[in-house]
Chain A
Amino acid sequence: MAARIGVITFPGSLDDRDAQRAVRLAGAEPVALWHGEHDLKGVDAIVLPGGFSYGDYLRCGAIAARSPIMSEVIDAANSGMPVLGICNGFQILVESHLLPGGLIRNDHGDFVCRDQRLRVENNSTDWTNAFTAGQEITIPLKNGEGGFIADSETIARLEGDGLVVFRYLDVNPNGSINDIAGITNDRGNVVGLMPHPEHAIEPGFGPDTPDAMRSGIDGLPFFTSAIAALALSVG
């Protein structure tokens, strides 16, 4: 039976349908989840999609992090369920304290939208096991508040424990400390990143590659990784 991966829609989510499509193309069954319900509908993994939940009011992700379904998400994450937060989803994860640190306005003050090269620093998480360690990938990045920050103790722990999952290559697009693009928790089941893997999953609609325009599908392994991690945990 195909893995069931839930995608939560918050008021102001934008990329929930893209994330559902990515889940389907990776071979799992996407399940739409609603922020206002205390119901994960028995899913095996969860994606918190990008967008501007609650119009970024208060702080990006702050109000969504306190929505009804998040109490179930926090419990599930703490019991090991794979959870991926993309962009606004990453902001929701840090606001929920499922991941450390915070995300602030880009240091240059501008919204940035580009195909971004990243290095996979940790390929042992539930969302990166289909990559090789050190693999360089390109997926879209689009944010105004993507500057990852944390106190020096937290940064030292993230770096020392191998919890930095992705690092920006070529340019640091938002002032993130140590070029950090994505991180994970100790268990490796919760991953958050600012760039958007769900926009690079289908030839014709992804970033350009040396081979062909828009042929980049470096985002697909995120989702096949989760499927593999779930198969492993059941098997």
Chain B
Amino acid sequence: MPTIVVEVMPKAELLDPQGKAVSGALHRLGKGHFTNVRVGKRFELTVEGPVTEAVLAEVRDIAEDMLANLVIEDVVSVHEASTETVAAGETH
């Protein structure tokens, strides 16, 4: 069954304490040339039937209504996962 990927990030203007903590750890590991890390979320929605524009629109609604809180986060991407990505996910 096809999978639709939703990616959500904390709003750029907000402090991202999680990203800051990861960034600090990288710095301690001598990887300070990665100057900034921000942590977001990836959702994978498996759907029955083909991924039509209507289905994608429905997922966009779900993403903006529930998967993200638009006060603090942005939905940065809603797209159908490529077959390779899904296959890689399923071999775990």
Spell out A's residues near B (CB within 8 Å): 58-59, 62, 66, 94-95, 100-102, 104-109, 147, 149-151, 175
Contacts and interface: CB of A to CB of B under 8 A. Distances in A.
Contacts of B66: 58, 62, 66
Chain A CB within 10 Å — which of B15, B20, B21 has the most?
A: B15
Contact of B69 (A102, A106, A108): A102
Contacts of B69: 59, 62, 95, 102
B20 A102 contact: no
Given A62-B66, A66-B66, A101 B71 contact: yes
A104 B67 contact: no
Contacts of B67: 58
Given A58-B67, A62-B66, A149-B72, A104 B21 contact: no
Interface of B: 10, 14-15, 17-18, 20-21, 66-67, 69, 71-72
Contacts of B20: 109
Given A62-B69, A104-B15, 9 more contacts: A66-B66, A94-B71, A100-B71, A102-B71, A104-B10, A107-B17, A109-B18, A109-B20, A109-B21
Given A62-B66, A66-B66, A107 B15 contact: yes
A105 B18 contact: yes
Contacts of A109: 17-18, 20-21
A149 B17 CA distance: 14
B21 to A, nearest CB: 6
Nearest to B65: A66
Contacts of B14: 104, 149
A62 B72 CA distance: 12
Nearest to B71: A102
17 contacts: A59-B72, A62-B69, A94-B71, A95-B69, A100-B71, A102-B69, A102-B72, A104-B14, A104-B17, A104-B72, A105-B17, A107-B17, A109-B17, A109-B18, A109-B20, A109-B21, A150-B71
Contacts of B17: 104-109
A45 to B, nearest CB: 26
A109 B71 CA distance: 20
A104 B69 CA distance: 11
Contacts of B72: 59, 102, 104, 149
A58 B66 CA distance: 9
In this complex, the member of A66, A101, A104 whose beta carbon has the largest number of chain B beta carbons within 10 angstroms is: A104
